[in-house]
Structure 1
Amino acid sequence: MYKVGFVNHLTGDGAVYGQSMKNGTELAVDIINATGGIGGVPVEVIYEDDRLVAADAQTAFLKLVESDKVPVILGSSSSTVSLSICPKAQEKKVVQVSQVSTAPSLKDCGKYFFSVMASDTAQGPEWVKVAEALGVKEAAVMYINNDYGIGVKDTFVAAFEKAGGKLLIVQPFELGAKDFRTEILKVKDTNPKVTFIVDHVPEASIIFKQSAELGFKTQWVTDVSIVAAEVPELAGKEAVEGIIGLRAGSSQTPEYKAFRDAFMKKFNKEPTIWADFAYDAMMLVAKAIEKGGYTSDGIQKALFEVAETYVGPSGAKKFDEYGISQGSYEWMTIKDGQWVLYEK
């Protein structure tokens, strides 16, 4: 039995992401084991909950490495949590494959770190393309005050100003907060035609709901973390109608459509946010074990090789020198309470 570790937010405010990662991973494992495992050896994933807390993630990591003896760990989703794990992963020489962590500083983690989603250095400039398509030269920014939010905010601010844009306000808010009226009113006072927001589902849903209650009308443009079915469910579809958001990858490829069919067959629902990235992370690890063997160094070396030609439901996964995948985006919008492709 080949054991693979998994650390993510299975409970708490980040569970919408962690449970989705678990779904995608489980689907990949089902397919791997149904087709003979890895060279005839079945795969088992050991799931640990970090509750979106760095200390819990470190405890889970050490349990997986020291008790379960895994050479590779999938996770976490949060950039802040992944950054808290990576020094230990380097020290213990354990491969860490994050499904969706994207903070630019992750490139400094070391040789045992990989991410299968493109860095925020790509997401910020994509927002500039949205601004250009909307014909705006002035905008507001709201961002969650953590490594991920700061990373997206910084890359967008730099790219937007370089393109001649003017920022009316750059407003932070705190992870886990429940009342954002003070921050919303500060942004509302600048009367922005467009407001770019980088956030997590729980906080974003409250911000959209409270903005509608306060009469703040703006064209919201979101990051990849908010394009989730839970947002209109939590905020109310009237509060989010017409929001534009980035979705990492493409839902129009043959690989994604095959993944969607398999996901719906197993879970009886549409693929949840980033489940495709979790699926690809597990598949890449399986291919790396098959090629390089069930050791950390073997997996680390083989990941670069197998990713060269791998194309999964979340796209092509070739890694750069830092172990960060390439990526692409599609634009989405909420129409009648559902995320659909935005017609450019």
Structure 2
Amino acid sequence: MTDHDEAGTVRPSTLAWASRYLEAGERIVGTEVLHGGITAEMRRLTIGGRRDGSTRDLVLRTFVNMRHAEAELNREADTLTLLAGTAVPAPGLVAVDPVGEHCEFPSLLMTCVAGRTVLADEGLETRVPLLARQLVAIHALRPAERPREYVTWTTADTVVTPRGADPAAWAAAIDMIRAPAPSCEGRFLHGDFHPGNVLFDVPPARPADARITGVVDWPVTSWGPADLDVAHCSTNLALLHGPAWAPRFAEAYEAAGGVRAAAPGERLYWQVRDALALSEDLPSVARAWRQAGRTDLTTRAVEERLDAYVTALMRRA
């Protein structure tokens, strides 16, 4: 077996567990780290020994030192099972070991979806409407059993104001999220929808013909306001490509048929809350993006973009 990266090494107990779910004669012949994740380790497992001599890939998600691993892996397993009967492109569930009973650490094994993440500025005009339409399709799901109610991951007391940020704008933003969350009509939420969790097929000769091939990373699904997902993708676009792209995504979402809160102040609340939530983990976010190829996105560069975005939001307020 070969490792394309030293960190790609998978413990024997985990390999033995994954091997139980292979077809007769198949075996794991290689592992490779998939960069860009923050909360979990992701690896591609290459499967050989097939009758026709070809190989196929599976993806292994492993949670290391994470107290919420069991809940999130079970939630992702349930969601992948649900999505198998829908038009939303997602990996297929192969197996899950949510407490590490058989593996070195809690793990989930899934099929490998074709495509790749695209974080470059080039071609963004084409990809933003595709992202918006995909999110509308996710929000249209109506599972027989609703997932948990949404949770928010920041408070007014945990916000991290970037160095050199506009103090008045950030103080006003922090005050805004002290207020109770607006009431909303619930939707099925991805919970972490952004370009890093969407796979594309982009023909080199025809970038305008780009299409989405898959949406990944489903452990934090919930039921809540559509604006929460819209705001999260908007914030990520603002940090990846500049603050002007945040409102363009929101407009594309509505143009695709998505329904947001009727009151502008309620929309703004979710936009501000999500932007402030990202402030708490900017070094990890920037590092993941650099590993995925955006070497220009230093922590300082991302801090400056977040400050510009929050300041622009508060000027609108």
- The answer to whether TM tops 0.5 is no
TM-score scaled by structure 1?
0.26
